[in-house]
Amino acid sequence: MTVVLGAADVAGLIDAVDVVGAVEAIHADLGTGAVQQPAPVALTGADDALFLPMAVRSDRLGLVAVKLMADVPDNAARGLPTQRSTILVSSSVTGECIAVLDGMTITRARTAATTVVATKHLARPGSRTLGILGAGNLAVEHVRAFEATRPFERIVVWSRSSGTVTRFLEAVGPDVARRCVIVPEARRVVEEADVLCTLTPSVDPIVRGAWLHAGQHVNAVGARPRPTHRELDGAAMARGTVVVDSRATAWTKSGDLLEAVVEGALPPDLHPAELGEVVAGRAPGRTADDEITVFDSVGLGAQDLAVAARLIDLARERGVGTPVAVARAGTVVPGR
């Protein structure tokens, strides 16, 4: 039996999932080679839409998944989400399709959780000020994830849109909003933050290397999965010790990394550590208090699978979702 978990089903279950724990565990698996995570292949056409099938296999979980992520900028003019995704999960033992899940909430939650994990392993202990560039839904999710794991004393926020800031403050709630300082320039956020999160769909850099300061940790998260879109300039990437979630994926779709190489700020043979290697103790994280660290987050199917696996277990326990019958043993299914 296959269970279908729509957007409302996932939203109703996600708060009961330890998303940070699931993401940290799957990165440890990635760091030891226990998960197969190839780089996605970009499917493009005559329009500006991009489709990424993100495949992953985890024998610890006994699951294989493919997430189809659609990045469709033209949807903004249609009043529709510019990114959509669906996750198909099958048994790695029998091949049975176990579940199909809407990916919107999972993607936001696992992205923020990955930032929390990276910050845990790379930021300087005692960091007090969180800087947020961009105040949309992803920013709200990041603040919530940090509040649940390691709250910051002060949060400095910048956005191009005052309306977005207003919605952000309402969404995070009054207790968090009282610790937020809204500033008119991105540069001020960068200069004041101990931990900086860039959460904008930027095409051109909004963070300059000259603005970074010793001991800072930067999470570069928001740019679309396109090799020319970025939030950090080459100088910012070069000033930091760069850690990626996956080398294969980053070299495919991280504009922050690829454009820095094009500019000559980073060498083309750079071999950055992966977050999973740091989590698993196979690569160093921060090595000095004054070191600048940069986590280049591009997003992995493994992160989606880790969260989806726990959602599927919860859905079974609570009877959530729509069951769909699959072919019985012995049924002949036409194929090629």
Cα pseudo-dihedral 48, 69, 35, 122, rounded to 10: 80
| pLDDT confidence of residue 336 | 43
**pLDDT, tens digit, 9 for 90 and up, residues 35-88:** 999 998 989 888 889 999 999 999 999 999 999 999 998 998 999 998 999 999
The answer to whether the CB of 64 falls within 8 A of the CB of 89 is yes
Q: Which residues contact 65 (CB under 8 A, 6 or more apart)?
A: 55, 56, 57, 87, 88, 89, 90, 301, 304, 305, 308
Per-residue tokens: 325: 């019958």
Q: Which residues pair with 85 in a beta bridge?
A: 69
Measure the CA–CA gap between 178 and 306, rounded to whole angstroms: 34
**pLDDT, tens digit, 9 for 90 and up, residues 133-145:** 999 999 999 999 9
Give the H or E element holding residue 244.
strand 241-244
**pLDDT, tens digit, 9 for 90 and up, residues 284-324:** 999 999 999 999 999 999 999 999 999 999 999 999 999 99
Q: Which residues contact 223 (CB under 8 A, 6 or more apart)?
A: 198, 200, 201, 202, 203, 229, 230, 231, 254, 255, 256
**pLDDT, tens digit, 9 for 90 and up, residues 101-132:** 999 999 999 999 999 999 999 999 999 999 99
The answer to whether the CB of 26 falls within 8 A of the CB of 58 is yes
Q: 95: closest CA among 334, 327, 332, 336? A: 327
Q: 112: closest CA among 152, 149, 146, 147? A: 146
pLDDT band (50, 70, 90) for residue 332: very low
- C-alpha distance from residue 277 to each of 31, 129, 300 (Å): 4, 27, 15
Q: What share of the chain has pLDDT > 70, as a percent?
A: 97
Measure the CA–CA gap between 292 and 124, rounded to whole angstroms: 9
| pLDDT confidence of residue 327 | 64
Give the end-to-end CA distance of the chain in Å, rounded to a whole number. 23
